[in-house]
């Protein structure tokens, strides 16, 4: 189950007007926590026997057990660090605000002087950390997964490009097959800052890429409404504007990781 503290934080982050904070239409299935596998070394959890080509996955926001469990179900040999820094993207940006801090994270994962693939994943406000890392260590990142958590400020009633340009750069490279990037978004509209729908629309407009309307089931009872792909870039839109709809994206993490890996 997701923690009460995280749910409280989500309610704070998702202050909506007039969207509801509850939903009883979809199933909103939840992943059950299992006994931990792998062995822990500080904040890092090592699954299997990672080698030179085994990925390092650094996740931001949400109870650590869920990304660790999801990643272990997809990758046999992998090193995982899951970071919880509270609420709000600024708190995550501050966690990795310098390249030295990021290099220390890689060292903690046992890969400071290697070229092991680095995958960054985030849920909700955790995108702030990914944006900070891309701004100072862009070349070191191979893949990105953003789960209903790419926001921006407003500029002239549109998403502020200054908050999104580094994600656009990564998306362009993914579209060309040089990187991998998967974005999921709900229909939650916070009101005071750009929603994940609006930021996805901005990226798609810049890329001249159109959404394809779809209607299909996703993980944990989610309903997918749109799909946009090019190369190794995918932007997936889902129904729902409530807190449970938002949390669904986190609990669907194993599905997103499998899709990212297949790109």
pLDDT tens-digit series, residues 240-255: 999 999 999 999 999 9
Do 257 and 180 contact (CB within 8 A), yes or no?
no
The span from the CA of 157 to the CA of 90, in Å, is 22
Average pLDDT over residues 90-112: 90
Confidence check: pLDDT of 2 > 50: no
User: What are the DSSP E strand ranges found in 29-153?
Assistant: 39-41, 44-47, 56-60, 78-83, 118-123, 143-147
Q: C-alpha 209: how far from its chain's center?
A: 21
Lowest mean pLDDT among 21-25, 83-87, 100-104, 189-193: 21-25
Please tell me what DSSP assigns to residue 25: S
Domains and CATH numbers, the chain: 40-262 (3.40.50.1820)
Cβ-based neighbours of 163, under 8 Å, separated by 6 or more: 131, 151, 152, 153, 194
Q: What is the pTM of this model?
A: 0.91
Helix (H) or strand (E) holding 223: strand 223-230
């Amino acid at each position: 189950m997701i923690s009460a503290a995280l749910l409280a934080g989500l309610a704070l982050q998702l202050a909506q007007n007039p969207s509801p904070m509850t939903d009883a239409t979809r199933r909103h299935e939840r992943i059950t926590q299992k006994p931990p596998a792998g062995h822990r070394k500080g904040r890092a959890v090592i699954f299997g026997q990672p080698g030179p080509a085994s990925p390092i996955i650094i996740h931001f926001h949400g109870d650590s057990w869920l990304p660790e469990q999801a990643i272990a179900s997809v990758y046999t040999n992998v090193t995982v660090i899951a970071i919880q820094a509270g609420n709000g993207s600024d708190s995550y940006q501050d966690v990795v605000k310098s390249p030295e801090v990021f290099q220390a994270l890689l060292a903690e994962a046992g890969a400071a002087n290697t070229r092991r693939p680095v995958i960054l994943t985030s849920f909700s406000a955790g995108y702030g950390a990914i944006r900070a890392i891309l701004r100072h260590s862009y070349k070191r990142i191979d893949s990105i997964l953003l789960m209903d958590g790419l926001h921006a400020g407003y500029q002239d009633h549109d998403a502020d490009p200054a908050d999104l340009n580094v994600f656009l750069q990564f998306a362009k490279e993914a579209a060309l097959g040089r990187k991998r990037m998967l974005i999921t978004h709900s229909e939650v509209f916070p009101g005071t800052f750009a929603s994940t729908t609006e930021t996805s629309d901005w990226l798609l407009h810049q890329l001249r890429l159109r959404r394809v309307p779809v209607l299909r089931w996703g993980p944990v009872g989610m309903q997918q409404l749109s799909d946009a792909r090019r190369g190794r870039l995918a932007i997936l839109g889902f129904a729902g504007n409530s807190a449970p709809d938002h949390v669904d994206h986190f609990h669907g993490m194993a599905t997103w990781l499998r899709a990212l890996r297949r790109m």
